[in-house]
């Protein structure tokens, strides 16, 4: 990447705008975007809602929050020095350590000076005559910028359920995403938790040991697999550092940028013994091996998926002593891996504890939250603490919480009411100079690996414009239509897209939000990069630049 000299960029800087670029969000993508754009010599400002940086790893302080990606595949790769300096403590790092890491990065590269904290962006309006964005903060402050980079996260718009009486509860209640820094003491307490997604699984297995009593309200069970986490010794860390080039290259080869990639064999073609031995091996493999490293037909072929589901169900039955509880924990409405699999450590054994109760709310629905607890159709249970592990308005939710208006005041939320329409997951037509880092339809996978690529691509296109004194970049409607159709087509036939989850357009976490449109690019990250690289190599001919 060629860097503009600071004086050259300064000469190009436009005195009519407050900043050359505003970035919304100081999470993994926003921090790196700041680093890259500042390197171009641009005047960049980040606005961040939180009182500190880290995004996901700032907010999610709930008990047991940790990576399901190998820590050493999640760090930034842009600085050899950083890779050399930072020691991960566990193969799947817990939230506090990851938050420390991001703070270390911010300090090392002096990023804080361009981040304004406690600054929620409430609106961003494009002004055509001036060719700039006007960004408004909750405080009423306004700032203008030529470019707007949204680094708002994929899972940052937390959703509370809509249950009558929630405000009447007199105990402590909290969404996992808003777990307070000062923590909530659950020791010896009567705790109820709603939800059984990846977040709930981490929370449940962590607090079950110390609470007085735990009641889990489950709407849909998920297929959970062992995380198989362990500490990283100093010798192991030295070995990882020596192997970083190989590890990072491996991540770029696999569809989702993990070290795990699909096994070319097909589950339906190997013998039953071979299948069983492989699945037993995967069950002991750390991380997403079971999901990302399985037989190549498991997520597309119904018969293969059924076999994989039967294996997973058997594991649950082996681990949960009460057969009736085990049956409730076995998903019946979706096959293995068609929703994001939660990774667990002793999760199923929690249900063998005498102080734990599983309530299937399909049998006995939650009717209301009361002053004392939760009333289901059969009885009222009293709690000291209610935990809402009810997930996110994913992928597009964070965009919709900002009043984003493009050319002629068109609202992004309105444009996307039937689901997102983008070009490469980076541009939305009619929203010039707005670039989405990790936007919908982009390469959303192992986060930092894919965010780094996205940020670098965005940096290059901004550099291209700045160098040519181009002050307006927009995706043409035809480019958006073509990309959106391509994303839709790639999603056809994937079992995953037949099931509602935060990864698809039918996300039951959000009442009434059911846009049956493919939300994620599912052609694999290598193919995504090939598309984006080709667009850059051709000089961005699909973009209208002036």
Task: Name the residues that contact ligand NA7, by CB under 6 A.
Answer: 155, 161, 194-200, 219-220, 340, 361, 389-392, 502, 508-509
User: 237 or 499, CB closer to ligand NA7?
Assistant: 499
Q: Which two tokens stand for residue 83?
A: 């890779």
∠ CA 156-162-163, rounded to 5°:
135
In the sheet that holds 356-360, the strands lie side by side as: 172-175, 385-388, 190-194, 213-218, 356-360
Instruction: Report the nearest approach of ligand NA7 to the CB of residue 342 (Å).
Output: 7
Looking up tokens 């667990």 gives 344
Instruction: Report the nearest approach of ligand NA7 to the CB of residue 388 (Å).
Output: 8
Q: Which two tokens stand for residue 178?
A: 């808003």
As a three-state string, the secondary structure of 311-353 is HHHHHHHHHCCCHHHHHHHCCCCCCCCCCCCCEECCHHHHCCC
Instruction: Report the nearest approach of ligand NA7 to the CB of residue 424 (Å).
Output: 22
User: 220 or 256, CB closer to ligand NA7?
Assistant: 220
Name the helix (H) or strand (E) containing 252: helix 234-253
Instruction: Report the nearest approach of ligand NA7 to the CB of residue 509 (Å).
Output: 4
Instruction: Report the nearest approach of ligand NA7 to the CB of residue 160 (Å).
Output: 9
Give the residue from 409, 410, 392, 390 showing the smallest Cα distance to 401.
392
* φ and ψ at residue 14, rounded to 5 degrees: -100, 120
Cβ partners under 8 Å of residue 537, min gap 6 = none
User: 466 or 503, CB closer to ligand NA7?
Assistant: 503
Q: Let me know: does 308 contact 337? Beta carbons within 8 Å.
A: yes
User: 256 or 509, CB closer to ligand NA7?
Assistant: 509
Instruction: Report the nearest approach of ligand NA7 to the CB of residue 199 (Å).
Output: 3
Looking up tokens 């192991």 gives 236
Q: How many CB atoms lie within 10 A of CB 122?
A: 13
User: 288 or 416, CB closer to ligand NA7?
Assistant: 288
User: 53 or 193, CB closer to ligand NA7?
Assistant: 193
User: 203 or 305, CB closer to ligand NA7?
Assistant: 203
Nearest residue to ligand NA7 by CB is 197
Q: Let me know: does 457 contact 532? Beta carbons within 8 Å.
A: yes
* φ and ψ at residue 263, rounded to 5 degrees: -80, 130
Instruction: Report the nearest approach of ligand NA7 to the CB of residue 178 (Å).
Output: 12
SS3 state at 135: strand
User: 343 or 437, CB closer to ligand NA7?
Assistant: 343
Q: Let me know: does 195 contact 390? Beta carbons within 8 Å.
A: yes
Instruction: Report the nearest approach of ligand NA7 to the CB of residue 276 (Å).
Output: 28
C-alpha 255/C-alpha 251 separation (Å) is: 8
């Amino acid at each position: 990447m060629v860097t503009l000299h600071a004086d050259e960029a300064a000469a190009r800087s436009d005195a009519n705008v407050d900043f050359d670029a505003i970035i919304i969000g100081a999470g993994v993508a926003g921090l790196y975007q700041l680093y890259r754009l500042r390197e171009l010599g641009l005047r960049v400002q980040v606005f961040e809602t939180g009182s500190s940086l880290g995004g996901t790893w700032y907010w999610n302080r709930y008990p047991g929050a940790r990576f399901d990606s190998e820590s050493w595949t999640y760090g930034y790769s842009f600085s050899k020095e950083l890779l050399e300096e930072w020691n991960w403590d566990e193969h799947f790092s817990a939230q506090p350590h990851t938050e420390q890491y991001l703070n270390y990065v911010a300090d090392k590269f002096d990023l804080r000076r361009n981040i304004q904290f406690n600054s929620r962006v409430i609106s961003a309006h494009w002004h055509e005559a001036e060719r700039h964005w006007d960004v408004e903060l909750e405080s009423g402050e306004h700032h203008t910028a030529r470019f707007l980079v949204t680094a708002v996260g994929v899972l940052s718009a937390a959703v509370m359920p809509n249950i009558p009486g929630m405000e009447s509860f007199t105990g402590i209640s909290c969404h996992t995403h808003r777990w307070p820094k000062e923590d909530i003491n659950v020791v010896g307490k009567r705790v109820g938790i709603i939800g059984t997604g990846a977040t709930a699984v981490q929370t449940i297995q962590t607090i079950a040991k110390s609470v007085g009593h735990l009641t889990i309200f489950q709407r849909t069970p998920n297929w959970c697999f062992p995380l198989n986490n362990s500490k990283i010794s100093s010798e192991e860390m030295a070995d990882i550092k020596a192997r970083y080039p190989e590890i990072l290259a491996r991540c770029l080869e696999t569809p989702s940028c993990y070290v795990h990639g699909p096994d070319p064999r097909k589950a339906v073609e190997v013998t039953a013994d071979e299948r069983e031995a492989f699945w037993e091996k995967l069950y002991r493999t750390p991380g997403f091996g079971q999901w990302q490293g399985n037989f190549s037909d498991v997520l597309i072929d119904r018969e293969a998926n059924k076999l994989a589901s039967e294996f997973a169900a058997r594991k649950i039955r082996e681990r949960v002593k009460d057969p009736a509880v085990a049956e409730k924990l076995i998903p019946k409405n979706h096959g293995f891996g068609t929703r994001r699999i939660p990774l667990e450590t002793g999760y199923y054994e929690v249900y063998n504890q005498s102080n734990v109760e599983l309530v299937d709310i399909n049998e006995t629905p939650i009717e209301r939250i009361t002053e004392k607890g939760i009333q289901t159709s059969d009885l009222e249970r009293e709690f000291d603490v209610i935990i809402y592990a009810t997930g996110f308005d994913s992928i597009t939710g964070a965009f919709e919480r900002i009043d984003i208006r493009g050319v002629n005041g068109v609202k992004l939320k309105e444009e996307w009411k039937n689901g997102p329409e983008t070009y490469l997951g980076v541009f939305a037509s009619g929203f010039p100079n707005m670039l989405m880092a990790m936007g919908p339809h982009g390469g959303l996978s192992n986060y930092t690996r894919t965010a780094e690529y996205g940020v670098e691509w965005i940096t290059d296109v901004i550099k291209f414009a700045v160098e040519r004194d181009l002050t307006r970049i927009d995706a043409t409607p035809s480019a958006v239509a073509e990309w959106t159709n391509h994303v839709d087509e790639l999603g056809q036939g994937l079992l995953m897209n037949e099931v509602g989850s935060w990864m698809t357009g039918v996300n039951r976490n959000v009442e009434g939000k059911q846009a049956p449109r493919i939300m994620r690019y599912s052609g694999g990250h290598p193919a995504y990069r090939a598309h984006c690289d080709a667009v850059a190599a051709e000089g961005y001919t699909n973009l209208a630049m002036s």
